[in-house]
Structure 1
């Protein structure tokens, strides 16, 4: 499969001195931002402004985001008179640090708004793809697929947010694999990251069977807890890779991170596999 038209244009301009400085590692983060809001009833609070600072502090080349809102009429009205207020732009654009490109697609449409997946990138993006992997009508789920031009190479990214039932997640993994086989060249670098909701740690085997290895520390540990953020116990947030190796893996912690979302971010440093 050839590169997308947008990425082909970026490839042709890759000799330009403009753009990010080359680095040996690709810094990748995945973060479920809980729609930028925490709490219930009178205790409900807007966290999107704090999340903006948090995303910037990650200093990641690629940020895979889940539960991102483009709009929500009721919450925009509720928070319009707060100190900072509801952002006028979509949350993905609002969270993107200066100079980052943004890709966003809606997964779920509700009475007052919608939410979906986003990718923030300090490297040029290709054509954006979206694939519905909803297992039933009560859970709207999707995959966001974006090719990225990383240091002159095409790297494919998929932002995932899987369902709450294990049987459904297995079917969604199969649909993910089928989508990758159809839309991603077999030799291409690939990063699949997001919230897999895999409470029982049972998805690594089917992912590995299709060439996607879970990012782990050099000692082999991969189960870094990200949920719930105040007392993390489950490693629901994952990064799976192909053609790359993980150099480091970490979860930022502390009161500020625990406040902003019910998930903590997962951050990995990746490098090309040794020839």
Structure 2
């Protein structure tokens, strides 16, 4: 059975420049992806200032509920809390959600981060989904990646299908090898190197410490940093792409990744 997924840091539903509301256009753009499951970061659960300032273009609902609409269920993991609101990660799914849990992995008081773990049912088979947004500092990211690995080992049975997606802020690509070796996951762009010619030679050279080039997703206007990832286990990767262009550059500072997976 196939499943289409997307990961997207939506920048709290405002534009990268000028902080103009983009949440209505975001909802329309998400619909064009036609994903079964959306892994979203920087989702605004509440923002009293924006709601008061932009009453006509700011939904009365929490962003995760607004974006889910009637077609998807929404689960929200609240991470950062402040006087006028809060934000965090969210998972939207048109497949049944069996359970959810949000784990605090904040490394210091200035960056609130979490791992949102949801179990969805695909063809009556539990699939463990993890929405992540790691910190801006290398030491904290390493500790949060270790917490992610432990969370998956503790919550997903060996061999169970797993999808881990989000904003890893890992521009130096230091975290992937630990995830691959300890969890048995594959990043959806790992197989972009051709299997013939020079690509075949590169594959033979690629050892345990080799760094594979991930998709460039930041900044959305002219992406050159590889911040956003989708790691999977128990799936074959049919397709994966980064959505570029003027539309996506207006909506957020990150470009989204969409992938189609085939359950093994």
TM-score w.r.t. structure 2 length?
Answer: 0.89
State the aligned residue count.
245
Cα deviation digits, residues 100-146 of structure 1 (max 9, x gap)? 11111101112321100000111000111011111111111000000
2:143 corresponds to which of 171, 188, 207:
171
The aligned counterpart of 2:244 is: 253
Cα deviation digits, residues 222-242 of structure 1 (max 9, x gap)? 522111000011121100111
2:220 corresponds to which of 210, 223, 229:
229
RMSD: 1.4
- The answer as to whether partners of 2:45 and 2:64 remain within 8 angstroms in 1 is yes
1:212 corresponds to which of 185, 195, 206:
185
* 1:203 to partner: Cα distance: 1.2
Q: What stretches of structure 1 of length at least 5 have no aligned partner?
A: 1-23
1:115 corresponds to which of 87, 91, 108:
87
Q: What stretches of structure 2 of length at least 5 have no aligned partner?
A: 194-211
The aligned counterpart of 1:33 is: 10
Cα deviation digits, residues 230-263 of structure 1 (max 9, x gap)? 0011121100111112121101121111100000
* 1:179 to partner: Cα distance: 1.2
Where has structure 1 moved over 6 Å in runs of 4 or more?
Answer: none
1:54 corresponds to which of 29, 36, 41:
29
* 1:212 to partner: Cα distance: 2.2
Classify the secondary structure of the residue corresponding to 2:6: strand
Residue range with higher mean Cα deviation, 214-223 or 177-186:
214-223
Determine the C-alpha separation between the residues in 2 that align with 1:169 and 1:206. Answer: 12
Determine the C-alpha separation between the residues in 2 that align with 1:75 and 1:137. Answer: 24
- The answer as to whether partners of 1:249 and 1:268 remain within 8 angstroms in 2 is yes
* 1:25 to partner: Cα distance: 1.8
